[in-house]
């Protein structure tokens, strides 16, 4: 396993996304939308509950419906990110393009998908004290899974081809 590189707000010059080993996640075949995304750990600090994740989506595919719990900084590396938020009686659809950098509010619940060309993003997550990075939710906002920083690191830390 290679030593991970520490990322801050952007990928280092000359970084080759094709050299990353991705862990792929897909949804159930009976889902009403396509879930198809992959995650790679770029850097981590387990005692501090911090992890930097590269996430890649197939064109027009979603990740699982989820809630962010801690401070999450994001950078859109390639493609478009579509965020759909439900806030009471309103729905907000945001489109973020390559070059976007920002922060996701703690506790934000949303659907997230790629644009027609796919999507690659960098997420720098500082989880709360329990280390839970985010919660995967069902359509009634019930928690299905609570992956921790340690869960991501145990799966793959900075592996490259």
Average pLDDT over residues 60-67: 91
- Residue 86 belongs to a domain: yes
- Residue 44 belongs to a domain: yes
pLDDT in tens, 65-81: 888 888 899 999 999 99
Of 31, 92, 24, the C-alpha closest to 57 is: 24
Of 45, 11, 33, 13, the C-alpha closest to 120 is: 11
Q: What's the chain's average pLDDT?
A: 84
* Residue bearing the bigger pLDDT, 63 or 1: 63
Please report which helix (H) or strand (E) contains residue 95, including its range. strand 90-97
Secondary structure of residue 70 in the 3-state scheme: coil
The pLDDT score that the predictor gives to residue 6 is 47
User: What is the Cβ-side half-sphere exposure of residue 72, based on CA atoms within 13 angstroms?
Assistant: 22
- Residue 118 belongs to a domain: yes
The pLDDT score that the predictor gives to residue 160 is 47
CATH number at 144 reads 2.60.120.10
The conformational region for residue 88 under phi > 0 = left, psi -120 to 50 = alpha, else beta, is: left
- Residue 63 belongs to a domain: yes
- Residue 1 belongs to a domain: no
Domain hosting 86: range is: 17-155
The pLDDT score that the predictor gives to residue 30 is 66
- Residue 23 belongs to a domain: yes
- Residue 3 belongs to a domain: no
pLDDT of 1 above 50: no
Give the Cα-Cα-Cα angle 17, 20, 22 (nearest 5 degrees): 115
pLDDT in tens, 114-153: 999 999 999 999 998 899 999 988 888 899 989 999 988 8
Number of domains present in the structure of the chain: 1
* Residue bearing the bigger pLDDT, 88 or 34: 34
* Residue bearing the bigger pLDDT, 121 or 103: 121
- Residue 114 belongs to a domain: yes
């Amino acid at each position: 396993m290679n030593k991970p590189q520490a990322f801050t707000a952007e990928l280092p010059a000359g970084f080759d996304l094709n050299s990353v080993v991705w862990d792929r996640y897909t949804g159930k075949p009976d889902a009403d939308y396509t879930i198809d995304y992959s995650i790679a750990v770029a850097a981590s600090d387990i005692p501090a509950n911090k992890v930097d994740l590269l996430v890649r989506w197939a064109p027009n595919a979603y990740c699982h419906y989820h809630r962010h719990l801690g401070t999450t900084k994001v950078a859109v590396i390639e493609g478009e990110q579509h965020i759909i938020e439900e806030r009471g009686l309103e729905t907000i659809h945001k489109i973020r393009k390559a070059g976007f950098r920002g922060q996701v509010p703690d506790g934000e619940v949303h659907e997230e998908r790629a644009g027609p060309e796919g999507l690659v993003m960098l997420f720098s997550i500082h989880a709360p004290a329990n280390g839970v990075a985010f919660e995967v939710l069902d359509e009634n906002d019930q928690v299905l899974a609570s992956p921790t920083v340690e869960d991501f690191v145990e799966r793959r830390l900075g592996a490259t081809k």
